[in-house]
Structure 1
Amino acid sequence: MASPIPPRKPSLAKDSLTGSSYLDDHLEYKARQTGPSPSIDGVLEQPARVPRNAMSNLSLSSASRRSISAIPPSPIISQESGTVHTISHTNCIPEPGDPARLVATIFYNSSTPRHPHLHPDQSPPAKPTDFIPAPEIAEGSAPTTSIQEYPLEPPAPEPEPLDHLYGAYISQLCLTHFLSTLDSLLIHNEPEERRLTSSHRCLAPDPFKPRVMEVTFTPPPKPQYLPFDLIPKHESIYKFEREWNCEIILQPNTVYRRHKRLCVFDMDSTLIQQEVIDEIAAFVGVKKEVAAITERAMNGELDFAASLKARVSLLKGVPADVFERLKPKIVITPGAKELCKCLKRLGFTLAVLSGGFQPLADWLAGELGLDHAFANHLVSNEKTNTLTGELDPAYPIVDSAHKQALLISLAKEKKIPLAQTMAVGDGANDIPMLKTAGLGVAWKAKSKVQMEAPARLNIGESMLDLVYLLGLTKEEIDQLLSG
């Protein structure tokens, strides 16, 4: 009786059918090779045995630029199990002079997908005759959807939205299109620096229909042609965002991206959903007048300090306990508490730098577990227990310059490099601190801020989405929030 054929043992070495190893096929990054180059692979695959001294005849010229790390080593066979192992160091040992890697975090606008469940290819109940609404600029995909308020020339006609055709998530075709867009930006690179290599990770929430994806790529576009800070504002990137209903935030792939230690926030319309001074003005019936000044100041149309004094003067006679009355009406932005909890567990120092008022900033710091709170101080009349309509001259006005100075001083006090800092805000007085921080994010911000800030995020499901910019996955965020 013939003995049964033993099962084939697992192998990670050269497969006679494919001619490549499992590890070779699943490398995150492929080594660049601009021309034919002999390698150990070619020698090993020759039918005749090659003498050892023939190895000295192999030429690895500078033109081919293929490092020794890119050459798969000979397999190692375990004598006991017969399992074959091999390893490659392509990612471990970069070639000298390799360009920097960048990380793009792509957020899909899952809260408002275009034409949801209408296309017959995406929804079985739908019919080919179902009406599909006309394409529009997706909310959050541009600084503004109003032509009258558009800060530059009117946008070109909207491209056809593709997310309703290929999936209301970051689909495979969406990713392919993004890589193609990046590749088109390398046109002015040197010939040896024009081969795009990339890898990606699905961060949340579903590996098959991801809402947040992280793409690491190299090389970046030639800085003389397209500096790093202008890549997210390039027309091709903007067009891609509108077509696929998503937003992209770019960062250098450094250790400081993943291990930040200080985060500062604006308060009004960022950590909370109201403008506090407008709410105070409602007590004395001047909310309309104050709100108009606030809007112009946040859009950068008015000097912040002058506009603040003008608004505060209208609050004369408001009861001094107005802040206690306001607290129950304050709405904390969804995800702010969870964001702060995650960052604190990661060891962050947190601060609120507000153009609002100190009593509410102190209260919010207690609610969110912030370490510092800086805001403006109002003067009250102790006899009448009302506001005088003046700012306390003993404290500096927390305007754009002071916010920037506070960020720098906090980082210096904690001995934290600015590259390890993060700032989040929405108004024109936040722009300097957003540009100073290692990562400055305009959160659902005014048009002017979105145009000038290093990064913008309008389509996040909540403020907790900012944690993805540190490279954390949904599973890791859940671990930080548990307990």
Structure 2
Amino acid sequence: MTSPRSGRPSLGKGSLGRSNSYLDDHLEYKTHQVPSTVDHQSGPSTSIDGVLDLPTRIPRNTLSSTSLSSRKSISAISPAPRVLKDSESIHTISHTNCVPAQGDAARLVATIYYNSASPNHAHPHADQSPAVRPQDLLPPPEIVAGSAPTTSIEDYPLEPPAPEPEPLDHLYGAFVSQMCLTHFLATLDSLLIHNIPEQRRLTSSHRCLAPDSSKPRIMEVTFSPPPNPEYLPSDLLSKHESIYKFEREWNCEVIIQPSNIYRRYKRLCVFDMDSTLIQQEVIDEIAAFVGVQQEVSAITTRAMNGELDFAASLRARVALLKGVPSDVFEQLKPKITITPGARQLCKGLKRLGCTLAVCSGGFQPLADWLAGELGLDHAFANHLVSDPKTQTLTGELDSRFPIVDGEHKKNLLLSMAKEKGFKMEQTMAVGDGANDIPMLKAAGLGVAWRAKSKVQMEAPARINFATGLDDILYLLGLNGQEVAELLRD
């Protein structure tokens, strides 16, 4: 006879990789009990409204098939295996999360990235901390990148931001721990309060994608139903304050997508170039040749933050490049650093059958070179005019070609998808600057890659905690083993 459970669960045993996990063995979340008409047992229903105290825990292997079919576990662990008589074979059947019934609510997929590069250590050892004196002032509040249009406290238009929540990953593990998963499910469940009663039962399953099932850095959680769209549309779910608070507490970030075939099978991917596929802003590098880097960089920063019209700022910056040798791009190529993981990402996408393009607010010679380096199918960028007599740049843009600004990037994405017969749900865009926002919003999946704050606020998805660009492959539903196999020569 087991004792009744308390209302507050404790992390007793198990791990995400075991067959009997903490979620499955220690928690049975329910809103009510539905009596079974077949075996007069109670079929538990799942919700994270609370924990129902039971005087006796009924062994799972004694539940009837009707009870098992009514049971919807919040974890990914399937019901206890059925052992076939006169055989050593074991076969497990659980259709709760693999075969949706007709009329079931839409499903969403949340990909959780843990910030393994900077794990939280809220209470460092005293010997490793700077000496603190009574007269020392408290540190000024900081604005987290992506939470506001600016990270400057002086320019913050509202009251100072609230203190950061207490980090929890240093207590429960520097990875997506089982307590982290439990908290995430509780957060999702709390957002179903405005759903109709028939759609307040949260069901979910999870997969550990990388690096392993015991200490996953990336986890995928499939769940349904979504919150009532009149209260919280699915495309805004990842921006809800509850999700943001969860991310800050657990040192991770969450990307939410519809769970459908188009998520797994992208056919067109469009990249920005500067600070995305490569780590430099090319126009700033060119400006260094004539000693105007400081002036150009200031304009570039404001343009990428969305403070200036891109086309006007581009003309102003290009005018400062007058007199730069025409072969400057050849001299720059050895200095260009391709973003870690970019080669692997492009290689993997090509093997999956994707068409790849770079649409850059930079310049065509380097876009063409980068396309050759990464195996891209198309390259679109701005064209500079050079004087054939002096072999120098004139400081003008070639009027025969359109300026590749935000609107043109979006139009290129739309036209390529239409030309190749792809649905927009099959497209993906990756960028970091304000001029990338239109194409990020138009694509089936728009990813702000370590982007400016304004871009992170407006883009459908953001990634800051990845180890490299190739981590984007996990958004397609691939796990670490599949990614390794995809990239193997």
Q: How does 1:333-372 map to 2 (within 5 A)?
A: 333-372=339-378
- Which piece of structure 1 moves more, 286-295 or 137-146? 137-146
CA distances 1:402-461 after superposition (whole Å, capped 9, x unpaired): 000000011111111100110000000000000000000100101110110001111111
- What is the CA-CA distance between 1:482 and the residue it aligns to? 1.2
1:166 aligns with 2:172: yes
Which of 219, 227, 244 is equivalent to 1:221?
A: 227
Residue aligning to 1:181: 187
Distance 1:149 1:461 in 2: 31
- What is the CA-CA distance between 1:267 and the residue it aligns to? 0.3
Which of 424, 430, 436 is equivalent to 2:436?
A: 430
Which of 389, 411, 418 is equivalent to 1:383?
A: 389
Distance 1:244 1:261 in 2: 33
8 Å Cα contact 1:262-1:420 kept in structure 2: yes
Which of 448, 451, 457 is equivalent to 1:442?
A: 448
Distance 2:89 2:286 in 1: 74
Residue aligning to 1:211: 217
Residue aligning to 2:49: none
Residue aligning to 1:18: none
Q: Secondary structure at the match of 2:171?
A: helix
- What is the CA-CA distance between 1:197 and the residue it aligns to? 1.1
Residue aligning to 2:106: 100
Residue aligning to 1:480: 486
Specify the code of the residue in structure 1 equivalent to 2:319.
S
- What is the CA-CA distance between 1:77 and the residue it aligns to? 9.4
Distance 2:70 2:429 in 1: 40
Specify the code of the residue in structure 2 equivalent to 1:382.
P
Q: Secondary structure at the match of 1:429?
A: helix
Residue aligning to 1:317: 323
Distance 1:479 1:265 in 2: 24
Residue aligning to 1:330: 336
Specify the code of the residue in structure 1 equivalent to 2:385.
V
Tell me the percent identity.
69
1:236 aligns with 2:234: no
Residue aligning to 1:38: 36
Q: Which runs of 5+ in 2 are unaligned?
A: 1-19, 42-65, 73-80, 133-137
8 Å Cα contact 1:161-1:244 kept in structure 2: yes
8 Å Cα contact 2:108-2:258 kept in structure 1: yes
8 Å Cα contact 2:97-2:204 kept in structure 1: no
8 Å Cα contact 1:31-1:70 kept in structure 2: no
Specify the code of the residue in structure 1 equivalent to 2:36.
P
Distance 2:430 2:244 in 1: 21
Residue aligning to 2:477: 471
Distance 1:76 1:283 in 2: 72
- What is the CA-CA distance between 1:67 and the residue it aligns to? 11
C-alpha spacing 1:326/1:461, structure 2 compared with 1 (3 Å): same
C-alpha spacing 1:255/1:388, structure 2 compared with 1 (3 Å): same
8 Å Cα contact 2:146-2:454 kept in structure 1: no
Residue aligning to 2:411: 405
C-alpha spacing 1:86/1:310, structure 2 compared with 1 (3 Å): closer
- What is the CA-CA distance between 1:95 and the residue it aligns to? 3.4
8 Å Cα contact 1:351-1:371 kept in structure 2: yes
- What is the CA-CA distance between 1:100 and the residue it aligns to? 0.6
8 Å Cα contact 2:146-2:453 kept in structure 1: no
Number of residue pairs matched?
428
- What is the CA-CA distance between 1:83 and the residue it aligns to? 6.4
Residue aligning to 2:135: none
1:394 aligns with 2:400: yes
1:249 aligns with 2:247: no
CA distances 1:242-265 after superposition (whole Å, capped 9, x unpaired): 111111000010111111111100
- What is the CA-CA distance between 1:79 and the residue it aligns to? 8.1
Q: Which runs of 5+ in 1 are unaligned?
A: 1-21, 44-65, 120-125
Which of 300, 306, 315 is equivalent to 1:300?
A: 306
Specify the code of the residue in structure 1 equivalent to 2:430.
V
TM-score between both structures, scaled by the size of structure 2: 0.80
8 Å Cα contact 2:424-2:444 kept in structure 1: yes
